[in-house]
Amino acid sequence: MTTSKEIYEQAQAMAEQLVAWRRDIHMHPELGFTETRTAGLVAETLAELGLEVQPGVGKTGVVGYLGEGQPVIGIRADMDALPIQEANDVPYASQTPGLMHACGHDSHTAMLLGVANMLAKMPDRPPGQIRFLFQPSEEMSDDDNKSGAVRMIEDGALDDVDAVIALHVASDMPAGKVMVSEGFCTANEDSFEIVIKGTGGHGAFPHQAIDPTFILAQVLNAIHGIRARRIDPTKAAAISIGSIRAGNASNVIPSEVYLNGTMRSFDDDTRQRLRDELAQVLQVVQALGGEYTLDIWPGYASELQRPAGRGRDAHIHRRNCRF
C-alpha cells in the first residue's frame, strides 16, 4: 500500500516538472473557449501517461479517463486566463500582450497534470475510475451565457460521476497551507450592466442637458447603500462596481453612461433581494429626468447541489426601468 510519505516524496520529485508545466502555460495565456494550446498540452501529456483522452469537451475542454468501474471520481482544474496586461518582470512572464494568468489557473492545470502522472503510475491506486476534468472558460461565458463548466456538463463530462474534487490557489495564504471550509466556499454570483441615458450637451450649458454623469453620482451612492441599508446585517452580501465609461471630450456632456458590476451572496433570498433592490434604486434615474436599461446575468450558484446544466445560462433583462 502506497503510504502518505511515499506520495509526498513522489510529489516532491515532480517539483521541477510541475514548475515547468506551470511556467509554460503562464507564458502562453488563452482566454475562455480559446485554450487550444493549453488543451493540446494537456491532451498530449495525458496520452503519454496512457490515459484515454477526450478533447473538445465543452468546446475546448479535455477529459482524461483512468481506470474503470465504480466509484467515478472527478478531479477538476480550469485552464483559461484573464484579459490583463502582466506587469511582473520574470523570465516566464506572459508572451501575449493584454493576457495573463492572474487567477492561478496555470497552477491548477499543472497540479492536475501532476496528479494524473502520480495516479497513472501508482500500482495500488484506489478502485474505480478517476476522471480528470480540464475545464475551459471559468472566467467568462459564451454568446449563450454559458460557461465552460456548463458546456462540459452538457457534453457528458459528469455522466455517472459520484463526486468531484477541486481546489483554488489563494495568494493570501502562506505557502504549504491548505484551507478546507465546511459548507459554502464560494458565493452566488450575478453580473449586471447598466446604461444611464440623458440628452447630453455642451459643458458650458449644463442646464440645457440631462447630464447622465450627475445622475450617475446619485446612482452610485444608492447602489452602495443597498448592502448597508437594505440587506439584513446578518446575511453575507456584496455589490461592487467594476467599470464605468462615459464621454470622450472635456467640454461635452455625454448622452449616456455605462457601468457594470457584480453581486455576491450565499442564500437565494438575499440573492433575489440584491437583484430587486438594484432595480429599485435605479428609479432615481427617472426622478432626475433620465432613462436606463438594466441587464442582470445570473452566474454560478452557491448551492452544494443544483440541477445539471444550469449556471451562467440565464438572463434577467430589465429595460427602460418601469417596474
Q: Is 196 exposed, middle or buried (0-12, 13-18, 19+ CB in 10 A)?
A: buried
Please list the residues that pair with 163 across neighbouring strands.
Answer: 73
Single out the residue of 273, 283, 174, 312 nearest to residue 219, CA to CA: 283
Alpha carbons 241 and 248: distance in angstroms, whole number = 20
Q: Is 35 a catalytic residue?
A: no
Catalytic residue among 30, 78, 80, 190, which? 80
Any residues with CB less than 8 A from the CB of 135 and at least 6 apart, and which?
58, 61, 76, 77, 78, 79, 148, 149, 152
At 212 the three-state DSSP class reads helix
Cell of 207: 442646464
Alpha carbons 256 and 292: distance in angstroms, whole number = 9
Q: Is 9 a catalytic residue?
A: no
Catalytic residue among 35, 138, 211, 291, which? 138
* Residue 208 per-residue DSSP state: G
Alpha carbons 241 and 142: distance in angstroms, whole number = 22
Q: Which residue in this structure is represented by grid cell 452566488?
A: 188
Any residues with CB less than 8 A from the CB of 275 and at least 6 apart, and which?
190, 263, 296, 316
Give me the active site residues, please. Answer: 80, 138
